Homo-oligomer: A and B are copies of this chain.
Amino acid sequence: MTEFAVWAPAASDRVEVDVDGDRYAMRRGDRGWWRVSVEDAKAGSDYGFSIDGGQVLPDPRSAWQPQGVHGLSRVVDHDAFPWTDQRWRGVHLPSAVLYELHVGTFSEDGTFAGAINHLDHLVELGVTAVELLPVAEFSGSRGWGYDGVDLFAPHSAYGGPEELKRLVDACHHRGLGVVIDVVYNHLGPAGNYLSQFGPYFTDRHTTNWGDAVNFDGAGSDEVRRFVIDNALMWLRDYHADGLRIDAVHAIKDESALHVLEQMGAEVRALAAQVGRPLFLIAESDLNDPRFVRPVLAGGYGLDAAWADEWHHALHAAFTGDTTGYYEDFGSLDLVAKALRQAWVYDGTYSLHRGRTHGRPPTGLSGDRFVVFTQNHDQVGNRATGERTSHLTSEGRLRIAAALLLTSPFVPMLFQGEEWGASTLFQYFTDHEDAELARAVSEGRRREFSSFGWDPADVPDPQDVAAFERSKLDWAELESEPHAGLLAWHRTLLALRRSRPELSSGRRDNTVVGCDDEAAWLVVRRGAVAVVCNLAERTQSVPLIGAGTATVLLASADVELEPRSVTLPSDSVAILSVLA
Query: Do A290 and B256 have beta carbons less than 8 Å apart?
Result: yes
With A206-B204, A206-B206, A256-B286 as given contacts, are A218 and B355 in contact (CB-CB < 8 Å)? yes
Tell me, in angstroms, the Cα distance from A296 to B296 when the chains sit together. 10
A432-473 interface with B by 8 A CB criterion: none
A1 at interface by CB-CB < 8 Å: no
**Among B204, B221, B288, B355, contact of A217 (Cβ-Cβ < 8 Å):** B355
Contact partners of A205 in chain B: CB under 8 A: 205-206
Q: Is the CB–CB distance between B255 and A286 below 8 Å?
A: yes
Q: Indicate if the CB atoms of A256 and B357 lie closer than 8 Å.
A: yes
- Give min CB distance, A348 to chain B, whole Å: 11
A209 within 8 A of B: no
- In the assembled complex, A275 has its CB within 8 A of some CB on chain B: no
Residues of chain B lying within 8 A (CB to CB) of residue A355: 216-221, 255
Is A111 interfacial (CB 8 A cutoff)? no
User: Which B residue sits closest to A9, measured CB to CB?
Assistant: B354
Q: Which of B256, B290, B359 contacts A289 (CB 8 A)?
A: B256
**A215's closest neighbor in chain B, by CB?**
B355
Residues on the B chain within 8 Å of A353, using CB:
218
Is A524 located at the chain interface by the 8 A CB criterion?
A: no
A185 to chain B, nearest CB (A): 13
A250 to chain B, nearest CB (A): 10
Check if A323 is an interface residue, CB within 8 A of chain B.
Answer: no
What is the minimal beta-carbon distance from A284 to any residue of chain B, in angstroms?
10
Asked whether A219 lies within 8 Å of B354 as measured between CB atoms, the reply is yes
> Given the complex of chains A and B, what is the CA–CA distance between A296 and B297 in angstroms?
7
Closest beta carbon of chain B to A211's beta carbon, Å:
12
Given contacts A221-B349, A293-B298, A298-B293, contact A256 B287 (CB under 8 A): yes
Residues of chain B within 8 A of A189, CB atoms compared:
none
Q: Is A159 an interface residue (CB 8 A)?
A: no
Chain A residues 253-281 with CB under 8 Å of chain B are 254-257
Q: Report if A347 contacts B (CB, 8 A).
A: yes
Decide yes or no whether A358 CB sits under 8 A from chain B: yes
* Known contacts A293-B298, A298-B298, A286 near B254 by CB under 8 Å: yes
Q: Are A256 and B298 in contact (CB under 8 A)?
A: no
Q: Is A356 in contact with chain B by the CB < 8 A criterion? A: yes
Judged by a CB distance under 8 angstroms, whether A249 is at the interface is: yes
A299 within 8 A of B: yes
- The CA-CA distance from A298 to B358 in the complex, in Å, is 15
A288 partner residues in chain B, CB cutoff 8 A:
255-256
Give, as a whole number of angstroms, the nearest-CB distance from A410 to chain B.
21
CA distance A367 to B66 in the complex (A): 59
Q: Which residues between 473 and 507 of chain A lie within 8 Å of chain B, taking CB atoms? A: none
Chain B neighbourhood of A256, CB < 8 A: 286-290, 347, 357-359
A297 to B297, CA, bound (A): 5
**Cβ–Cβ < 8 Å partners of A356 in chain B:** 221, 255, 257
Bound Cα distance A221, B218 (Å)? 33
> Which residues, 337 to 375 on A, are CB-close (under 8 Å) to B?
347, 349, 353-359
Q: How far is the CA of A217 from the CA of B206 in the complex (A)?
A: 14
Which of the residues B221, B257, B290 comes within 8 Å of A359, measured between beta carbons? B257
Chain B contacts of A298 at CB under 8 A? 290, 293, 297-299
Complex CA gap A359/B257 in Å reads 7
**Judging by beta carbons under 8 Å apart, are B293 and A255 in contact?**
no
Residues 218 to 237 of chain A near chain B (Cβ within 8 Å): 218-221
Q: List 30 A-B contacts (CB under 8 A).
A: A204-B206, A205-B205, A206-B206, A216-B355, A217-B354, A218-B354, A218-B355, A219-B354, A219-B355, A220-B355, A221-B349, A221-B355, A254-B286, A255-B286, A255-B288, A255-B355, A256-B286, A256-B287, A256-B289, A256-B290, A256-B357, A256-B359, A257-B347, A257-B356, A290-B298, A296-B297, A297-B297, A297-B298, A298-B298, A298-B299
Q: A217-B355, A218-B353, A218-B354 are in contact. List 6 more A-B contacts (CB 8 A).
A: A204-B206, A218-B355, A220-B355, A255-B355, A256-B286, A256-B288
Nearest 5 CB-CB pairs, A to B?
A298-B298, A218-B354, A256-B288, A256-B359, A220-B355
